[in-house]
């Protein structure tokens, strides 16, 4: 018993240290990702939903890779069954996406309400890139929920995610990134042309280094920043890997179920980069960028939910190990339902900032009950 408590305490220390390192990494990652986006003439909200979202999705992608390649994870996974390792990648995506959609998103809005940079009756606006994010988010979360619960609704204890279904999710993610790069940028360019405004290459956000005026300097600038971006994302993955090992140390000593670890610890750790950037965007009152980063990160996360099935060319088994696993389909379907409601509400301009209060309460109940029951 004492050894288990010591392992648990050590794991919490590792998680805290890793999260601090992730916090330090977030500032240069935001700046470098923003620079790459400006070099490509992308609007700020598109930068947030592509480069920044790709970076913050690093932990979830890492989790999916660990679930697919047991040899990468090391001895920490030795006490877990193969099916549990398989399901961890998919379930982590679901609960991490919920943390992004409600927990972190609402927290960012509440922070701006607290700082009075947003009014309670203010309508949440959405950019064209945000609408694209939501459309793909509904598609990705709806497909994943249908795939995961198709067998569970029929009374089986284990759901199956096939390789074909995994490729469908991956195709949604790839299509999303391509759409984000081209469609919103085209809309912005058309508006600027109609308004006879200056081209995007001639200016950037306040304090930014001017964009290069020739191809050679552009290539040099882009290559340098791309290398730094890749190094920072790699560092982020290393830190998250340490957190993942710590969370599964908790599971293997039997203090909580694997389902509980996935919901309470792993999903929080993998959502920590989104939390860091949300804080920075909320502090700078960049509302469109905040929503674009969160929605975009979720689509990319869900696109990797079936990575194990693709990697090993075999179906993934999906189940949890708590006291009431029969509730798992209900918890999974909450995600696409909220995505659809968000799409309708934001598109029609019906969601006000004050709605963050009840949504945060719902999120707390959802997470705590999931930790206890699943």
What share of the chain has pLDDT > 70, as a percent? Answer: 79
Q: Which long-range contacts (CB under 8 A, 24 or more apart) does 179-182 make?
A: 179/132, 179/136, 180/46, 180/49, 180/50, 180/129, 180/132, 180/133, 180/296, 181/40, 181/42, 181/46, 181/50
Provide φ and ψ at 160, rounded to 5°: -120, 130
Residue 349 placed within a domain? yes
Q: Which of 310, 322, 332, 333 is nearest to 161 (CA)?
A: 310
State the maximum Cα–Cα separation within the chain, in Å, rounded to a whole number.
72
Query: Who wins on pLDDT, 259 or 101?
Result: 101
The pLDDT tens digits for 294-325 are 888 889 888 888 888 888 888 887 777 777 87
Number of domains within the chain? 1
Residue 206 placed within a domain? no
For residues 138-150, average pLDDT: 88
For residues 258-269, average pLDDT: 68
Question: How many C-beta neighbours within 10 Å does residue 331 have?
Answer: 23
Residue 113 placed within a domain? yes
Q: How confident is the model at residue 362, as a pLDDT?
A: 92
Residue 207 placed within a domain? no
Find the DSSP H helices in the chain.
Answer: 2-39, 44-47, 53-56, 58-68, 70-73, 82-98, 105-114, 128-149, 163-194, 215-252, 258-260, 267-270, 272-283, 287-303, 307-312, 328-347, 356-373
Q: How confident is the model at residue 216, as a pLDDT?
A: 86
The pLDDT tens digits for 226-246 are 899 888 888 877 777 777 777
Lowest mean per-residue pLDDT among 48-52, 133-137, 349-353, 359-363? 48-52
Specify the residue for token string 């198709």.
Answer: 150
Q: What is the residue range of 78's domain?
A: 2-199+212-373
Q: How confident is the model at residue 203, as a pLDDT?
A: 38
Q: At what angle do helices 328-347 and 128-149 cross, to 10 degrees?
A: 160
Query: Who wins on pLDDT, 61 or 225?
Result: 225
Q: Is the pLDDT of residue 346 over 60?
A: yes
Q: Which residues contact 196 (CB under 8 A, 6 or more apart)?
A: none
What share of the chain has pLDDT > 90, as a percent? Answer: 13
For residues 204-226, average pLDDT: 77
Residue 254 placed within a domain? yes
Residue 205 placed within a domain? no
For residues 5-13, average pLDDT: 79
Torsion of Cα atoms, 45 then 51 then 55 then 56, to 10°:
10
DSSP state of 49: I
Residue 47 placed within a domain? yes
The pLDDT tens digits for 155-176 are 666 678 889 999 999 999 999 8
Report the predicted TM-score, pTM, of the whole model to 2 decimal places: 0.80
**233, 9 in Cβ contact below 8 A?**
no
Cα 315 to Cα 44, 148, 259: the distances in Å are 39, 11, 20
Q: What CATH number does the domain containing 279 carry?
A: 1.20.1420.30
Residue 192 placed within a domain? yes
């Amino acid at each position: 018993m004492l050894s288990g408590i010591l392992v648990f305490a050590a794991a919490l220390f590792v998680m805290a240290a890793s999260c601090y390192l992730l916090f330090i990494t977030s500032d240069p990652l935001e700046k470098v990702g923003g620079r790459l986006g400006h070099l490509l003439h992308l609007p700020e909200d598109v930068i947030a939903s592509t480069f920044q979202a790709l970076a913050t999705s690093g932990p979830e992608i890492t989790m999916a890779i660990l679930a697919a390649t047991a040899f990468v994870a090391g001895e920490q996974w030795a006490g877990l069954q193969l099916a549990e390792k398989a399901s961890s990648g998919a379930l982590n995506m679901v609960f991490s996406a919920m943390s992004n959609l409600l927990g972190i998103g609402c927290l960012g809005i509440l922070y701006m309400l607290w700082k009075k940079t947003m009014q309670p009756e203010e309508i949440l606006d959405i950019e064209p890139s945000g609408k694209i994010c939501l459309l793909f988010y509904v598609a990705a979360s709806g497909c994943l929920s249908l795939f995961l619960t198709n067998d569970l609704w029929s009374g089986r204890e284990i759901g199956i995610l096939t390789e074909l279904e995994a490729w469908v999710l991956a195709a949604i993610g790839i299509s999303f990134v391509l759409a984000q790069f081209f469609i919103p940028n085209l809309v912005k360019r058309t508006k600027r042309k109609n308004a006879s405004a200056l081209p995007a290459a001639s200016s950037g956000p306040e304090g930014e280094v001017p964009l290069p005026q020739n191809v050679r300097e552009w290539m040099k600038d882009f290559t340098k920043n791309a290398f730094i971006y890749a190094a920072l994302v790699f560092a982020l993955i290393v830190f998250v890997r340490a957190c993942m090992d710590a969370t599964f140390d908790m599971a293997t000593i039997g203090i909580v179920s694997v389902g509980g670890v996935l919901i309470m610890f792993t999903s929080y750790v993998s959502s920590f980069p989104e939390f860091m950037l949300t804080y920075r965007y909320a502090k700078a009152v960049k509302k469109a960028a905040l929503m674009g980063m969160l929605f975009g990160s979720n689509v990319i996360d869900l696109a990797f939910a079936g990575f194990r099935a693709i990697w090993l060319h075999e179906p993934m088994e999906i189940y949890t190990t708590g006291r009431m696993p029969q509730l798992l389909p209900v918890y999974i379907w909450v995600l696409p339902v909220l995505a659809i409601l968000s799409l309708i509400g934001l598109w029609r301009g019906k969601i006000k900032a004050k709605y963050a209060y009840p949504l945060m309460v719902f999120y707390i109940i959802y997470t705590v009950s999931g930790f206890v029951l699943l």
